[in-house]
Amino acid sequence: MRNQSGAAGEAPHPSDTRPATAVATRKPVGERELIWMMALLMALNAFGIDAILPALESVAVDLGATGNSRQYVVGAYLLAAGIGTLVPGAFADRYGRRPVLFTALAAYIVFSIACTLATSFEMLVILRAIQGFSAAGIIALPPAIIRDRVGGDKMARMMSLIFVIFLLVPAVAPSIGQGILLLAGDWRFIFGGMAFAGVLMTAWVYIRLPETLHEEDRQPIIVRQIARNMTHAVTLRETIGYTLGSALVFGGLFGFINSSQQLIGEAFGAGDKFPMIFAICAGCMAIANWSNSRIVERYGARRVSHVALFLFIAVAAAQAWFASQPDETLWTFVPLMAANMSLLGFIGANFGSIALQPFRHIAGAASSAQGFLRMTSGAALGAAIGQAYDGTARPLAIALLATAVISLAFVLFSERGTLFGPPQPEAE
């Protein structure tokens, strides 16, 4: 693979418009810093979702929301972010990653502040939807930036490490949100915390991230060409099964996120322990991603993720059985939920890397198109699962099992019936 000096920060990139002296004297951006930066960029999205979870009851009381409608504060953001991921990729392939990323960060900050001023529940939901849509670049661009630098199973390793750090945020975000709520006494300050986090990330990216798009890979803004690139990214048989498969299993995860506060706080009567339980589940997922980063280049993204998917189905079947019993307790629900979230750590990054592998020259458009399909499908499915909450864990357990089985069918389609493929070397 050629030396991608601009991506690594060792020399000025042709599209970097900052003064030459500033670029030349900047310390190179190494792999470790890039992983942290991309992880925390994506974590802004997770923080925007999970920090508000402990305050949903307060939001509902303050703004007059009833029943399961409080979930719309999360669901609207997720669904709009999924739709929004369709937009930034093509612009990032034309103008570069940096300007599009700054636009997304600015939107995240502005609409976080706007949410603090919401005077009705409907207004808050609309603002959250606009925030998710306009800030979608912080979700869509990190995988493209990584793909600018590496490919093969090395990309899967880097994405796994990104997910380790990324998942630390949802592990602690509910605790941060609850802490802000206890200290400030108003859920609006949580959105203020989101804006502050966005400002910090913007400063770091501006100072340290070089442009990673190679000059020869720039794509013109031709609607027909963009549509063709995006269509190719989501219709290629070798990758579509992985995009849809990850949408399904993460739809189950979104269903848990949407209903988690009600499920843990009301069904199991452990509302005061909600941040800790959520942290345990998310922490298990982070540990799994770290483990994946240690083994994926040796065994291959396909072998690791396929084994994990079969185990996910087995654990989901156990969840469905326990949920069907009239006396299910928190002590059976949490270990099984944590186990399946751990297995997602061996599925998510690997599925995403496999799906993006063939598209280095259109990585921005491909990441956007695949992210759109993954996020919109997953968010819509997650919202449906959340709305099916009936005071028990049964709807969630059945959904987890069903989505995993269908995901396996999609993977079999992409792999033409043959699973557990060999490791893939780093490639252009």
More confident residue, 127 or 270: 127
Per-residue pLDDT band for 168 (boundaries 50, 70, 90) equals confident
Confidence of residue 167 (pLDDT cuts 50, 70, 90): low
**292-295: long-range contacts at Cβ-Cβ below 8 A with a sequence spacing of 24 or more?**
292/156, 292/157, 292/160, 292/345, 292/346, 292/349, 292/350, 293/157, 293/158, 293/160, 293/161, 293/164
Predicted pLDDT at 217: 75
Least confident range of 175-189, 233-247, 268-282, 295-309: 268-282
Residue 185 lies in a domain: yes
pLDDT digits (tens, 9 = 90+) for 5-54: 343 444 444 444 444 444 444 576 778 888 889 888 988 888 888 888 88
Q: Give pLDDT, residue 292.
A: 82
Question: Which of the pair, 115 or 366, is modelled with greater confidence?
Answer: 115
In this structure, is residue 13 part of a structural domain?
Answer: no
Give the pLDDT mean for 326-348. Answer: 86
Is a pLDDT exceeding 50 seen at residue 415?
yes
Sorting pLDDT into bands at 50, 70 and 90, what band is 307?
Answer: very high
Residue 19 lies in a domain: no
What is the reported pLDDT for 401?
Answer: 92
Cα angle 299, 303, 306; round to 5 = 150
Range of the domain at 292: 26-414
The predicted pLDDT at position 23 comes to 43
Mean pLDDT computed over 191-219: 89
Residue 380: pLDDT band by 50, 70, 90 thresholds?
A: confident
Q: Is residue 21 part of a domain?
A: no
What is the pLDDT of the chain when averaged over all its residues? 82
Q: Is the pLDDT of residue 179 over 80?
A: yes
- Statement: residue 109 has pLDDT above 50: yes
Residue 278 domain-assigned? yes
Q: In the chain, how many domains are there?
A: 1
| Burial per residue of 294-329, b for 16 or more beta-carbon CB atoms within 10 angstroms, e otherwise | eebbeebbbbbbbbbbebbbebbebbbebbeeeebe
Domain-located, residue 247? yes
The domain that holds 171 is classified in CATH as 1.20.1250.20
The least confident of 220-224, 232-236, 336-340 is: 220-224
Of the chain, the percentage scoring pLDDT greater than 70 comes to 90
Q: What is the mean pLDDT of residues 117-123?
A: 92
Q: How confident is the model at residue 422 (pLDDT cuts 50, 70, 90)?
A: low
- The CB-side HSE value for 370 (13 A sphere, CA atoms) comes to 32
> Which of 35-44, 102-111, 258-267, 412-421 comes out lowest in average pLDDT?
258-267
- The per-residue pLDDT for 426 is 52
Q: Do 331 and 396 form a contact (C-beta atoms < 8 A)? A: no
**CB-based burial, 25-36: b 16+ in 10 Å, e otherwise:** ebeebeeeebbe
- Compute the distance between CA of residue 216 and CA of residue 236 in angstroms, rounded to an integer: 24
- Whether 386 is covered by a domain: the verdict is yes
Q: For the ranges 89-98, 156-165, 232-241, 311-320, which has the lowest average pLDDT?
A: 156-165
How confident is the model over 354-378, as a mean pLDDT? 79
What is residue 325's predicted lDDT score, i.e. its pLDDT? Answer: 86
Residue 347 lies in a domain: yes
Whole-number Å distance between alpha carbons of 257 and 387: 12
Q: How far, in Å, CA of 421 to CA of 299, rounded?
A: 9
Q: What is the pTM of this model?
A: 0.67
